[in-house]
Amino acid sequence: MRRLLVAGVGNIFLGDDGFGCAVAQRAHGRYPPGVEVMDFGIRGLELAYALLDGYDALILIDAVPRGGSPGTLYLLKPLLPPADQVADLATGKLGLEAHSLDPVRVLTYARALGAPPIPTLLIGCEPTPWEADAAEEELQMGLSPPVQAAVERALHILDTVVRQLYQGSDSIETA
């Protein structure tokens, strides 16, 4: 049996950025023992420290703007941080905000803390672009219709990825 961490990330107060949180909430209790599903929201430090707990693989779920149609799903392998970034974080040259969740920076910080590199996949969803006249700090609760519709499809992808990783496969085809 492998230990997997499924980590929903994002900010529920910024519309579609809450996609990962919505999927994690729906996936909670869905998988066998050894598969932990957590909604980390914007708690990057908490995720970094969780990665010290001996997981065999990590599945991140997040909104990922890549220029596609809103609601498009992606299965990606995030690029692991280069060794010099890990060293800079370990020596305090690069900071990490407690309430910020740039997944690559969190993975870098976790490595600086001593977390081993583990297979990591990202289930991403193309968000709906914000209105041009909306203020950057304006709160927007809830997912847009195309992203809300993608939640169920993301759960099916997550089911497949969890099953494959749980059974020991590290070679999952990504985009």
User: Could you tell me the two tokens for 106?
Assistant: 């969190």
Phi-psi region of 35 (alpha: psi -120 to 50; beta: other; left: phi over 0): beta
Quote the pLDDT of residue 105.
78
Domain count, the chain: 1
Quote the pLDDT of residue 86.
58
Q: Domain range for residue 120?
A: 4-129+138-166
Residue 156 neighbours by CB under 8 Å, 6+ apart: none
Decide if 171 is inside a domain. no
Decide if 80 is inside a domain. yes
CATH number, domain with residue 47: 3.40.50.1450
Decide if 172 is inside a domain. no
User: pLDDT of the chain along its 175 residues, tens only?
Assistant: 689 999 999 999 999 999 999 999 999 999 999 999 999 998 888 999 999 999 999 999 999 999 999 999 999 998 766 666 656 655 555 555 554 567 777 888 888 888 988 999 999 999 998 764 455 557 788 999 999 999 999 999 999 999 999 887 766 766 5
Question: Up-side HSE of residue 32: CA atoms within 13 Å toward CB?
Answer: 8
Say how far apart CA 95 and CA 3 lie, in whole Å: 29
Decide if 173 is inside a domain. no
Decide if 45 is inside a domain. yes
